[in-house]
């Protein structure tokens, strides 16, 4: 299948974790392969779920996708991000999470066999994929630490440290969604905001949370 893409989405592919640093020849190889396909989803449609998924690596080309497990929001994917790695190179009959289109979106799907051919065609794809998986391991370890943190304050502190940096200290997220990500109630979340604000570690206004003191937040009892 020839998966022709507009220039903006082609540029997005050159910056996605799988194909970063690869030249146009590698991207053309992927797009012209029979294992490549595109799919469009309306808001609310399911992309992947535990018993209905594809053994393909997806690249989000437009829109956003919500990743959940047992009603807990794990992350929200943006254009250029990958999904589906948990379905590749294993024999498990189920998928770990549910992926739902948060907005209308378009995705590029690369079958497992194509990923293998791409790794042989361009070793940068192999290196990128290993780097991506290492990053996912670190992310999931951080999530485990967050869930195991002592108290709601610790959960919030750990989450903010996992998502923000001194160069990007602001998080914009509705309180309801943030409470779902942390697996806590809105009331508990607001108490955690107040606790961290009183210590001068964060500032909270509406949907925006800003980390003011990263060193203090890192030393906060977790």
CA distance 45 to 100: 6
CATH 1.10.10.10 fits 149-218, yes or no: yes
Say which CATH topology domain 7-138 has: Jelly Rolls (2.60.120)
Cross-strand partners of 41: 105
Stretch(es) of the chain classified as CATH 1.10.10.10: 149-218
The rounded distance, in Å, linking the Cα atoms of 17 and 131 is: 8
> Which positions of the chain have pLDDT values less than 50?
none
- From-to residues of CATH 2.60.120.10 in the chain: 7-138
Q: What residue has token string 């190179």?
A: 89
The whole-model pTM stands at: 0.67
Q: What is the 3-state secondary structure (H, E, C) of 36-73?
A: EEEEEECCCCEEEECCECCCEEEEEEECCEEEEECCEE
pLDDT for position 210: 94
């Amino acid at each position: 299948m020839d998966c022709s893409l507009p220039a903006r989405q082609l540029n997005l592919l050159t910056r996605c974790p799988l194909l970063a640093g690869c030249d146009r020849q590698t991207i053309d190889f992927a797009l012209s392969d029979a294992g490549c396909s595109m799919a469009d989803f309306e808001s609310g449609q399911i992309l992947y779920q535990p018993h209905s998924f594809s053994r393909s690596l997806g690249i989000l080309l437009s829109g956003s996708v919500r990743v959940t497990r047992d009603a807990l929001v794990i992350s929200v994917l943006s254009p250029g991000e990958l999904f589906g790695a948990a379905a590749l190179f294993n024999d498990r009959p189920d998928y770990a999470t549910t992926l739902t289109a948060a907005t209308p979106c378009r995705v590029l799907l690369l079958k497992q066999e194509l990923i293998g051919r791409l790794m042989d065609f361009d070793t940068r794809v192999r290196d990128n994929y290993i780097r991506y998986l290492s990053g996912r391991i670190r992310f999931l370890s951080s999530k485990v630490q967050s869930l195991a943190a002592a108290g709601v304050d610790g959960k919030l502190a750990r989450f903010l440290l996992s998502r923000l940096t001194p160069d990007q200290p602001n998080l914009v997220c509705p309180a309801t969604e943030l409470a779902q990500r942390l697996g806590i109630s809105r009331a508990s979340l607001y108490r955690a905001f107040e606790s961290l604000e009183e210590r001068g570690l964060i500032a909270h206004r509406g949907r925006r949370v800003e980390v003011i003191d990263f060193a203090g937040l890192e030393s906060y009892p977790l």
